[in-house]
Amino acid sequence: MSPEEQLEALTLGTAKILSREELLKKLRSGRPLRAKLGVDPTAPDIHLGHTVVLEKLRQFQVMGHQAVLIIGDFTATVGDPSGRSSTRPPLTREEVLGNAETYTDQAFKILDREQTEVVYNGDWFRGMNYEEVLKLNARVTMQQMLQREDFRNRIEGNKEVRLHEMQYPVMQGWDSVEVRADVELGGTDQLFNILVGRDMQKSQEMEPQVAMCLPILEGTDGARKMSKSYGNYIGVDESPAEMFGKAMSISDELMDRWYTLLLGGGRDLELHPMEAKKQLAAQLVARYHDAAAAVAARADFEAKFAKGDSEVQWPEVQLDDERRLITAVAIAYREGHGTERSNSEIRRLIQQGGVQLDGEKLNDPAADLPAAVTDKVLRLDKKRSVRLL
């Protein structure tokens, strides 16, 4: 592939590149470029939002460039303030290391493990003394920091901004120096941090890295960015059924966005929106599991929601001699779906008609189960049911 062709392919789907000219120049040098991606293991799971950027990094790999994955074991304990409206809760070192492990495992569903250089930024930060820290800090101005939107918003909203949060861009910038990055990938919310990396490199008389920003993927709620803390994510490690189901619950508008960002192309407008969504869901399952799983997930989904079809494999639950409805539902949630519900919650569900036995609403929380329930499907809520034994 010629440098020009590479440039074309690499810039596809990106939101911002600083700058194309620099990238082309680097590509023309003919040497493998070092493409950096920093991830903070603040949560144990990689979700679809992360994959946008990981897939881009994978693309660099395929072209023969060197992917450098920085595990921010040190920076995670500080917490990236990017896009945050409040200070991140601190994580312990144990949590971070635990997360890092599942994180890399999941990242290698996308990246080629053999061809990825994995480094921990604690390796260089932990040994730094205060003098060195001060030197790094001298390279960034207060004004630059204060211009950042997330800090400005917090300041204007009279919310606290703690000093250590300002260290984050400095550290991320220094990472670029340590790994001699040619290109740094990140979401558009990372632009500032990536630019600090350029400054840091210039100050070390290195050729500055190219900033490559990818669009931020909205989560299943269609409003906020996909994030574990908003609970609007689909993890790459989730079961085919979960993945398929979650994907099906997104709005049509969001579906277009996901088609573009995750599958790299628009959807077929000839198709009924629901069919298009099923195909999207199936492709995602196929990507992170396999084709067979995608077919199965689709079939299972269709069986579950086709009216009158009770051929679905719901978890089976043994009630023993339990007759009281509330307790039965609690057991069904616990044994069948691994979730705990308080009695009050269950009472509400029952009163509001969420709980149904073979399609019949059971509205009275004080009632007992009907006499014969064996082999009947007890519906708990919109998404969960259980087969009684």
Least distance to RNA, CB of residue 177, Å = 31
Cβ 277 to RNA, closest distance in Å? 5
Return the number of other C-beta atoms located less than 10 Å from residue 298's C-beta. 18
Contact 124, 178 (CB under 8 A): yes
In the complex, least distance from residue 374 CB atom to RNA, rounded to whole angstroms: 23
Residue 63 or 312: the one with the smaller Cβ distance to RNA is 312
Residues within the interface to RNA (CB under 7 A): 155, 158-160, 221-222, 244-245, 248-252, 255, 273-274, 277, 301, 304-305, 342-345, 347-349, 352-354, 381-383
Nearest to 20 by CA among 28, 119, 236, 108: 28
| Phi, psi (degrees; rounded to nearest 5) at 309 | -95, 120
Beta carbon nearer to RNA, 160 or 320: 160
Bridging pattern class, strands 116-120 and 66-71: parallel
Here the tokens at position 101 are 């492990």
Helices then strands, counting H and E runs in the chain, come out as 17, 11
Report how far residue 142's alpha carbon sits from residue 115's, in angstroms, rounded to the nearest whole number. Answer: 39
How far apart are CB 281 and RNA at their closest, in Å?
9
Q: What angle do CA 290, 296, 301 make, to 5 degrees?
A: 125
Cis check for the bond before 203: say yes or no (omega within 30 of 0).
no
Closer to RNA by Cβ: residue 1 or 271: 271
Q: Give 156 or 205: the residue with its C-beta nearer to RNA.
A: 156
Q: How far is the CB of 156 from RNA (least distance, A)?
A: 9
Residue number with CB closer to RNA (204 or 249): 249
Taking the least distance from each CB to RNA, the nearer of 57 and 254 is 254
Q: Read off the amino acid at residue 204.
A: Q
Residue 268 Cβ, how far from RNA at the closest point, in Å? 14
